[in-house]
A = this chain, B = another copy of it.
């Protein structure tokens, strides 16, 4: 049976690229398995390309790469991030939110504050797959690039959600299965994430964050704006081109 020390969720964006690098730093030389999901997001073709490039970069063997389809998420709908849904808004990140402070408790999102790009309970689907695969692989860790404090405010990116899911994962699997859900970026600002990635030699040029474009990043969607703010805060130039930087 194939074995791995951990499973990392890898969308192909900057946060998951840094998280994968953290997992490799923490666990090398033990192998880390990588998981990517197509859930009907608009830019999946480009995201999958980024996932594969990152897996190649880290030399992940084929049997520890898993690409899955969660096509029902698009059928269920409820998000502008999904193909066929309403348009992705320009901007929309909370510019006026105070700068995130490491260790400070994030306020819970207020009703109506969740952006239209929120995909209902998406991360639970990804975690369920990661837990099943981890149990079969004998892995004890699941690495997730969730960001809570300096983010779009998705409820399934908050650490308390991961704490509850971790408990469910340990109760819902074999008694000998022991799993930890690791979210090394969850309390970091986007600037700190870029700096951590630079320290770990993350190939940011291989990553993709834009919610709308697949050739050139738009520079105006909330994901592009969060990414660009991170590079600006870190004093680093983002290596990917933008239509409107």
The interface of chain A, by Cβ under 8 A from chain B, is 66, 68-69, 71-73, 75-78, 108-111, 114, 118-125, 127-129, 131-133, 135-136, 155-156, 158, 160-161, 164-165, 167-169, 171-176
Q: Is there an interface contact between B121 and A78, defined as CB atoms closer than 8 Å?
A: no
List residues of chain B with CB within 8 A of the CB of A158: 171-172
Q: Is there an interface contact between B161 and A171, defined as CB atoms closer than 8 Å?
A: yes
List residues of chain B with CB within 8 A of the CB of A167: 164, 167-168
Q: A155-B172, A161-B172, A168-B168 are in contact. List 10 more A-B contacts (CB 8 A).
A: A66-B76, A76-B136, A114-B175, A123-B172, A124-B169, A124-B172, A127-B128, A155-B171, A158-B172, A160-B171
List residues of chain B with CB within 8 A of the CB of A164: 164-165, 167-168, 171-172
A4 to chain B, nearest CB (A): 13
A187 to chain B, nearest CB (A): 16
| Other-chain residue from B110, B129, B171 in contact with A125 (beta carbon distance below 8 A) | B129
| Other-chain residue from B73, B76, B136, B160 in contact with A78 (beta carbon distance below 8 A) | B136
The 10 sampled A-B contact pairs (Cβ below 8 Å) are A73-B132, A76-B136, A110-B175, A120-B135, A121-B169, A121-B172, A124-B172, A158-B171, A164-B171, A165-B165
List residues of chain B with CB within 8 A of the CB of A172: 121, 123-124, 155-156, 158, 161, 164-165
Query: Copy number of this protein in the oligomer?
Result: 2
CA distance A171 to B127 in the complex (A): 14
| Other-chain residue from B77, B133, B155, B171 in contact with A175 (beta carbon distance below 8 A) | B155
Q: Is there an interface contact between A173 and B132, defined as CB atoms closer than 8 Å?
A: no
